[in-house]
Chains A and B, each alone.
Chain A
Amino acid sequence: MQRYWFGDITDDGECRPLSRDPEELIERCRSLEPDMKTFVPFSPEKVIGCSGYTTREEYTGVLRKVCISLAREKITEYYSAGDLELIQMVRMLNELDHVINLLVERGMEWYIVRNPDFSRKYKNMNQKKVIGMMRRQKRTGLSSIAAEIDALSDKRTRLMKEISARAADVAPNCSEIVGGLVAARLISSAGGLRELAFLPASAIQVTGAESALFTHLKGGTPSPKHGIIFQHRRVHNADRAVRGKVARVVAGKLGIAARIDYFRGEVDPEFLEKAQERIDFVFAGGEVE
């Protein structure tokens, strides 16, 4: 028997169209997945006569209704996952960083024209100080723009905290190992918690270092040791000699943590303790057997 969206056709060629109620058809179609080995596609010549519809337009019309409803259902289901908003938050954070940097750079150029003796080059000035300096250019456009940049920086900080909190919720084990922000960045770069959980540890280790990885794959340059996970203190604070090892161990533990997060969704203190111990051991120069 061949099963189609509108009904069945028996092996003797008898047509058995079902109800025409879209609701009932949708219910049937949710679980309709014929085996391609034995599947025979429905012939367009049989549409009229077999499906119970009198015109081709009518057939397509009901089919469209069913397919659109099914697609809408799937889209809603997709957006209901918790990691999607997290991904958007991370991407917004990256965008904010980018914009703030651009604005500060441009403001600096403007500031220098107004103050020809100023040079930032050999001064140790962080962004906060630079913005403050621009704000003191009273009654100029520069000052009011600097105030906006300042406000934007505050919003960025708030977003960052929000991301950490959300990551602890979505991926508690990963957040525990590398901190909420790095965990969130990894999820964003993988495209979702599920995607991260299905990545091999070696891929987690170098996500975020794609350009270095592909130059390595194409030509003889050395492979990158770490991508996003470099931002974790245990990786960037490690001795050069063991940094690659630490990165590998952290990535390995992250791979397991992501799977616990995706499939179980709760904190596993026993695993975390062992993982932390392992990372600290390698960090301190311990040999990996």
Chain B
Amino acid sequence: MIRIGNVIVSEGKGGVYGEKMLRGYRVWDPYRSKFAALAKINDETDLEEGWDVLYLGAANGTTVSHFADYVRTVYAVEFAPRPMQDLIEVSERRKNIVPIMADATRPGEYAAFVTEVDMIYQDVAQPDQAGIAISNLPFLKSGGLLVLMLKTRSVDVCETPESVFEESKAILESAGLKIDFSCWLKPYHKDHGCIVCRKP
């Protein structure tokens, strides 16, 4: 990752969503983007130039636009029409974003468009987030990374975030994934956990 002092930035033409610029780089705000928060917490976090990334829950495409500055291709899957309009707008400016309107819980809907990828990044507000990640594993190369941003409140509002976090980790491990790193995204995002795993 490119860092200026302790600010995480990305290269590329600015003015995508009103982000600040710093010495010609686009500032990647950890309070806005969970991936930037992860990069703040864990110095090892990286995005490599030749990677293809499957991004589930792309929303308006703010984080997607930063990903696109780093990697080769981003397959951005989003289900809701409203943010999809914004996402198409963003992908007009970044030639390596492939916006796909489909449901992340049904990988068959977009399987024909996605190649094997080096990383799956998931940020969806759904109850069964670990299950969705597992059903998308066929797209991941062996040795590839799965980064799951766990919205614990979407899984179950009545459970404590901690128990949801532990349970999700157990589900991922039982699917044969190896957990590299996990943490809470405090203080940037409330009740959001992050689990980084590797496909053997």
Contact = CB atoms under 8 A, between A and B. Distances in A.
Interface of A: 3-5, 29, 32-36, 39-44, 47, 56-57, 60-61, 63-64, 66-68, 70-72, 74-75, 78-79, 214, 217-218
A60 B139 CA distance: 17
Interface of B: 52, 72-73, 81, 84-85, 88, 91, 95-101, 107-109, 111-117, 135, 138-139, 157-158
A41 B72 contact: no
Given A36-B138, A67-B100, A74-B84, 4 more contacts: A36-B107, A74-B81, A75-B101, A79-B81
A142 B127 CA distance: 50
A60 B81 contact: no
Given A36-B135, A71-B84, A217-B158, A64 B95 contact: yes
B115 A64 contact: no
What is the interface of chain A mostly: helix, strand, loop, or mixed?
A: helix
A42 B157 CA distance: 38
A71 B72 CA distance: 22
A56 B85 contact: no
A214 B99 CA distance: 36
B84 A75 contact: yes
Contact of B101 (A44, A74, A214): A74
A64 B115 CA distance: 13
23 contacts: A29-B112, A29-B113, A34-B111, A34-B112, A35-B108, A36-B111, A39-B111, A41-B111, A41-B116, A42-B114, A43-B116, A56-B72, A63-B113, A64-B98, A67-B99, A67-B101, A67-B113, A68-B99, A74-B84, A75-B85, A78-B81, A214-B157, A217-B157
A34 to B, nearest CB: 5
A47 B107 contact: no
Contacts of B135: 36
A5 to B, nearest CB: 5
Q: Which of A56, A71, A78 has the most CB of B within 10 A?
A: A71
A209 to B, nearest CB: 16
Contacts of B97: 64
Given A74-B81, A78-B81, A218-B158, A60 B73 contact: yes
Nearest to A44: B115
Contacts of A217: 157-158
A59 B22 CA distance: 33
Nearest to B80: A78
A247 B167 CA distance: 38
A5 B112 contact: yes
A41 B81 contact: no
A243 B154 CA distance: 33
Contacts of B91: 64, 68
Nearest to A42: B115
